[in-house]
Chains A and B, each alone.
Chain A
């Protein structure tokens, strides 16, 4: 469902307030990428209601956030070719902004841009408004049949092998990756699709103080209930590391035993953790990037 004018006005006000206006160079780049996406997805239709117009509306909103709010740096984009991949990423932050930013990166940074299809939980897929909006922008229920359909059509998918556990971490558990599930590796084996390990650094600090009231969440029928000090995510600078595609073993069956699969999943997990360790050493100081936008917001008045 395309955004209406009122939402556009609110969006433009917020962009102005948070200094999210793109430079003319970025604007031109965005338009070029959007043209390429329109061309690629002109005749594409999927059974979840994908709509390229909604994708573009969403990119118009997320790209300024990507560029100016989270000041995303991307490393290793040269590792990617124009072919289907299963992107496997660590899961950080309390809301799946990491997924949104990876998707924006693939759409905006690749020479031949793609819409990355994120796998979402059934809770989000069935949620009013959000479920429909995410389906229109290419996010679908994380189900093997769904993944197979997309990969058969030459599309790439984004999975978070940590699952919900990945984004339900309290402050003291930040950057502590949870055990990866084996499902995504079996899908990759079945479809013979290489896996690209992705690491997101900096997204945990969007909500620096978090406590998960899991028991209360259960009572309310929610997967979890994060209690945070801030409602909006803070502009923590985010780095996205794209690793080299993981070569799948030649003769491994999709029905191989868990222990055989586990060896490979652990290698991918290790690669993501190494990227995470390096990324944490090289990350930009967080509070420098928080101070200026906060000052702008609080003290600059009468901005046009």
Chain B
């Protein structure tokens, strides 16, 4: 367990996202003395919450250096991985620049400016959805996301940069890399939440993969608890439950468009013209399961770290 050190000054990168918003509220609830600086290159929400300051800024080396220099942060939350929704493989360069190069700069600055704890939000997508996946992959499983989809290279590279850096600098900075399963909720605007609430969702006829879902509130709680309760390492984040895609769609009440996913990829390029597309890589997740083990996380946070079970999480999407 990490020692109790003062962690009052917190930087959250990617504050415009729903998950970052909920996380900052939970942190402030747990520690009213905390001072949170939230930054994003997107429009930041106008929130009047004691202890939370949100700033919109361009993600550049100069701006980050200035930020780290002016505020002596104790903790950095890096929640700014660029989403793949609505972005095709053609934007790989842009995503590599933001996710990989940006992350590398944040890591450098964290070391230079004596950050005590760094928490990075990665994703379970790094493992890849392949037909020969074993079940409940642990954190040591190979990261095979880009085997079929080169556009997921940024996701894998960002994760690998963080984990390599984490072990190399573990004496100086306590680093936690989280690989959550599908985070869903009404405040979060990620690919899976959009998919599960879209009337144009493709309902696979030829496959019925099994999914793990975690509610945004539970994920935010894990992020907040990471501050004091998780020591340096990589952690999969998922609950014990799983559900087939067909059953999940039934719970959220989405009939979707029944369609053989085997032919979805070529069709997807046509659909892009009508702006009804889903990212190519997601098609793979609609075919094959990618389930992760939560053993390591539970050894620190306990058996019942989640408030919502999978059915409740899905039902809450309807609100």
Contact = CB atoms under 8 A, between A and B. Distances in A.
Interface of A: 1, 45, 47-49, 122-123, 125-126, 128-129, 131-132, 135-136, 141, 143-146, 149
B208 A47 contact: no
16 contacts: A45-B242, A47-B291, A48-B289, A49-B208, A125-B132, A126-B287, A126-B288, A128-B260, A128-B261, A129-B205, A129-B206, A131-B131, A132-B206, A141-B132, A141-B133, A141-B134
Contacts of A131: 131, 207
Given A47-B242, A47-B291, A132-B207, A149 B136 contact: yes
A143 B132 contact: yes
Contact of A122 (B131, B242, B260): B131
Nearest to A126: B131
Contacts of B288: 126
B244 to A, nearest CB: 4
A125 B134 CA distance: 12
B210 interface: yes
Interface in B89-138: 130-136
Main SS of chain B's interface residues?
Answer: loop
Nearest to B207: A132
Q: Which of A123, A125, A149 has the most CB of B within 10 A?
A: A125
B262 interface: yes
Given A48-B210, A126-B288, A132-B208, A141 B131 contact: yes
A140 to B, nearest CB: 8
A36 B132 CA distance: 32
Contacts of B246: 1
Given A122-B131, A126-B287, A128-B260, A47 B136 contact: yes
Contacts of A122: 131-132
Nearest to B287: A126
Nearest to B137: A145
Given A49-B210, A49-B244, 6 more contacts: A45-B242, A49-B208, A49-B289, A126-B131, A141-B133, A149-B136
A132 B205 CA distance: 9
